[in-house]
Chain A
Amino acid sequence: MTTDTRNKPIRDCSSGFRNPWLQLGLSVVCVLVSEFLLKRGATDVAEPDSAFSWTGINGLASPLVWWAILLIIASFISWLYVLKYIPLTIAFPLSRVVDILVPLGCWIFLGESISPLRWCGIALVIIGLALVAKPIAQIEERL
């Protein structure tokens, strides 16, 4: 083992734009938008009968897929920065907040309805995220 950044204190990194929590948020937003673009773009140019369709390469014919790729690259750069400071066991579960932002975004902005089962799922994710994030909040308070 050449280094031990698993417990690398978050106080070592800069505040503002270089704050890893802000970068985690930026990464989530980029992934959120890219998910919508990918689904729309991949569906627009779908060729199920093509021999290479399982590889998804024909999806590159859609401009929306290229926009999604740009956002994925941006989120990837932010994510690498996050990985430098935050343990994977904490950062990755927190990053999945995107899984409830998608249906919530559809509900708020598109007026789509959310079933009781889906509300239960959203509640579970929020409780799970709170459990994962609480030790971090305590660390930040002590700093």
Chain B
Amino acid sequence: MSILAFFFIVVSLLSFVAAQLILKRAMELSATLGFRNSRFIWLTAIGIALMTVSFFLTLGLLQRFDLSYLYPFQGLSVIFITLTAAIVLKEKLSFRLIVGTVLVSAGIVLVSMS
């Protein structure tokens, strides 16, 4: 794997993680401020833009690598999103949840390696 490929994989992963956090915050806002609130609209637009970036980068990577090769990186997104949601969004993170998340990620990596 070239440095360029690694760069695009990381950018795709980070933009996906950031998009999930931003969209979660947007939907939290919609519960109290409604869907016509400008802050909700902006957050949703940024979230969708980041998802779009991640989508096209993934599409470009799929043209070069097997799905099974790229899947371990998607497995990492489970850990990244769970940890950042706990830190940034202050969601509760129990020991059981941490163990479950690590097992899911490890399982995804094993599935793609075999």
Contact = CB atoms under 8 A, between A and B. Distances in A.
A binds B: yes
Interface of A: 2-8, 35, 38-39, 42-43, 46-48, 53-57, 59, 65, 72, 76, 79-80, 83-84, 87-90, 92-93, 96, 99-100, 103, 114-118, 120-132, 134-135
Given A6-B91, A55-B60, A118 B78 contact: no
A88 B81 contact: yes
Contacts, number: 186
Q: What secondary structure prevails in chain B residues at the interface with A?
A: helix
Interface string B53-75: 00111111111100100010011
8 contacts: A2-B29, A5-B31, A39-B62, A39-B67, A56-B61, A99-B75, A123-B107, A135-B96
B23 A83 contact: yes
A118 B114 contact: yes
Contacts of A38: 58-59, 62
Contacts of B20: 88, 92
Contact of B111 (A53, A54, A118, A129): A118
B111 A92 contact: no
Given A56-B57, A131-B97, A121 B114 contact: yes
Which are the 9 A-B pairs with shortest beta-carbon distances?
A: A56-B59, A121-B110, A128-B103, A131-B100, A124-B107, A125-B107, A56-B60, A128-B104, A121-B111
B111 A125 contact: yes
B33 A57 contact: no
B7 to A, nearest CB: 10
A135 B94 contact: yes
A31 to B, nearest CB: 11
A128 B100 contact: yes
B103 A131 contact: yes
A93 B78 contact: yes
Given A88-B85, A131-B103, A122 B57 contact: no
Given A128-B103, A132-B101, A117 B108 contact: no
A37 to B, nearest CB: 11
A84 B104 contact: no
Nearest to A103: B111
A84 B97 contact: no
Contacts of A65: 59
A90 B97 contact: yes
